[in-house]
Amino acid sequence: MTKIPVIHATESTDSSNKVNLLGMSKADLGEFFVSLGEKPFRATQVMKWIYQFGVTDFFEMTNISKKLQQKLDEVACVLPPKVKFKQFSEDGTRKWVFEVSGGSLVEAVLIPAEDGKQFGRKTLCISSQVGCALDCSFCSTGKQGFERDLDASEIIGQLWVANQSYMEDVAPTERENRVTNVVMMGMGEPLLNYNPVVASMSLMLDDHAFGLSKRRVTLSTSGVVPKMYDLAKDIDVALAISLHAPNDELRDELVPINKKYPLADLIAAAKAYVYEENPRHKKHVTIEYVMLAGVNDSDEHARQLVTLLKDLPSKVNLIPFNPFPHAPYDRSSNNRIHAFSNILNNAGFVCTIRQTRGDDIDAACGQLVGQVADRTRRAKKWQESIQKRQDHA
């Protein structure tokens, strides 16, 4: 198993410079308590208060001594990223914009199951970077450019805040985590921020933290092939691939990282993830495929996709394109999407069509950008190039 470097606590962003316990692993937290002259088991106690009950005030942690409560209050804090603003959609979708250290902004989106049940499925889409370096041509977030990686506290803090939004009026010891599923599918490419992402997912799975099932935590990648092999060795979570094209020529255009890691390498890494590196019996890879009218949605494209995936246990999730200003694409028609889906279903694949949610708050797939500042000016330059082409058309 590849050894993951220790993720130490990050300093809080307030003036006190206390050690932020949010994002620390159980082992690191145990070492922290030893450094205070305490037993390592205190880590388990404090983790439960932080993650299961959403408590940040050490004086509310009733099973630790008054002396330790006072000591923790002096040297430590539990500091999630600051909520800059939040929006709740009429369909139940929730979106948060977080301000992280340095003033950067990132977003997370929670999508509840359509049944509307209080304790039904609630899936949180989490960001791993400020912006994204990959510049996929159909993604609004990619047009913002890349600013920096998020640390573990900033990643796991998004889940902490989402759960807290269901806990605010409940007594601490009566609280229950409501987020049932997490997808590392927000802003950024998770495998390009590897160590903090794996550390955060480990907390999601830890029974003393969020205790999510490994099948309910999904990492989505555009195809950083070497890190896919590392991931298979380091943690057992579900894998999704942002594919979007069934051949290299088209994928080079839509997902530029394909030029470095072409489809043959990507599919080989996906097979290794399922079978070879850490065998996952009866498991599959989710294939994400955005539907772009007249670009990748023909019957021939569907048949090419069937051939590409024939030996890879997979299910396909078709995603209607979500337009954004100056985007050079249109959404495929419902009839075209269903025709594409039928070809896959008839070939024996499980193929679903994602229902677009959160349109009224720009919370749909590919729209995670909102109020995020474009410090690289990539979006402005891209919009200027679109305007020039239109002026000369």
Q: Which residues are catalytic?
A: 107, 365
Q: Could you tell me where the DSSP H helices lie in 85-224?
A: 152-164, 194-205
The tally of CA atoms less than 13 A away on the side-chain side of residue 40 is: 6
Residue 103's contacts (CB-CB under 8 Å, 6 or more residues apart) are none
- DSSP E strands: which ranges in the chain? 10-11, 19-20, 76-77, 82-88, 94-99, 105-112, 122-125, 129-131, 146-149, 181-184, 217-221, 238-242, 285-291, 314-320, 350-353
Q: How far apart are CA 347 and CA 337, in angstroms?
A: 16
Residue 383's contacts (CB-CB under 8 Å, 6 or more residues apart) are 325, 326
The 8-class DSSP code of residue 120 comes to S
Closest by Cα among 83, 47, 27, 329 to 199: 27
Q: How many angstroms separate the most distant Cα atoms in the chain?
A: 73
Residue 366's contacts (CB-CB under 8 Å, 6 or more residues apart) are 138, 139, 140, 141, 290, 319, 321, 322, 324
- Residue with tokens 């200027």, as numbered in its chain: 384
Q: How far apart are CA 312 and CA 291, in angstroms?
A: 21
Q: Is 272 helix (H, G, I), strand (E, B) or coil?
A: helix
Q: How far apart are CA 208 and CA 218, in angstroms?
A: 20
The tally of CA atoms less than 13 A away on the side-chain side of residue 147 is: 24
Closest by Cα among 117, 109, 119 to 88: 109
Q: How far apart are CA 243 and CA 62, in angstroms?
A: 49
